[in-house]
Structure formats: structure tokens, C-alpha cells
Amino acid sequence: MSLLSFNEFINESTVPDRYKKKGYTKVGAKKLNRGSGNHKWSVLARKKVGGKWKYRIIKGGYKGMKDFSQHKDNKRKKNFWNRMGGKNSAKARDPFSALYWHKRFGTW
């Protein structure tokens, strides 16, 4: 699988109807979870697998936990990325991973 540029990744022309019904109008746009649920945000992600586009809803930011945007502690941020294998690890490059979106949104 080849890695896509972010602009190519967020091409919004074809969001499947089942995700539009859930309130996702654009691939790669953060949707804040207000009210019920255990996560702060979710995002509609897509990647090409075997020549076909696959879509998945990725949830992140457990409610009640502080992220980098709240505590602003660079040492804590560095320790987080060391535990996760670094900012260029396989998980941090996979759009179906919450870690990818934490990096993209700057929450960690």
C-alpha cells in the first residue's frame, strides 16, 4: 500500500451514505462527541486496501483524560510518543489507527 498525501486522503467526493446518516460529511474531519459515549471525538477515515477504498470510524480521546492540548507538558508528550514507538511508527502512519489522528489533530 502506498502512502497518500493528506490532501489526496481527504477527498470528500465520495462519502458512503451509511456514514452520512451518522453525521459524517467529510473524510478526515474531526467530529466532537457531545453527550453520550466515552470518547471526545471521532473521525471518518479511509484508505485504499487491495484497490478498493475502505472506510472506518475512528474514535479517540477518552473523556476524563487530559491530552496535550490541556496540559501542554512537552516532557509528558515526548514520553507518550516513546511509549507508542515514535511519531513515525507503523501505527502513527495508519489512517485506521487513533494514534494517526492524535498526531494529525495535535492532541498528542
pLDDT tens per residue, range 52-74 = 999 999 998 888 777 767 777 88
- Domains of the chain: which residue ranges? 6-105
Write down the pTM of the prediction.
Answer: 0.74
| Res 37 pLDDT > 90 | no
What's the confidence (pLDDT) of residue 72? 79
Q: What is the 3-state secondary structure (H, E, C) of the chain?
A: CCCCCHHHHCCCCCCCHHHHCCCCCCCCCEEECCCCCCEEEEEEEEEEECCEEEEEEEEEEECCCCCHHHHCCHHHHHHHHHHCCCCCCHHHHCCCCHHHHHHHHCCC
% pLDDT > 90, the chain: 38
Q: What is the pLDDT of residues 7-36, one digit of tens each?
A: 555 554 579 999 999 989 999 999 988 877
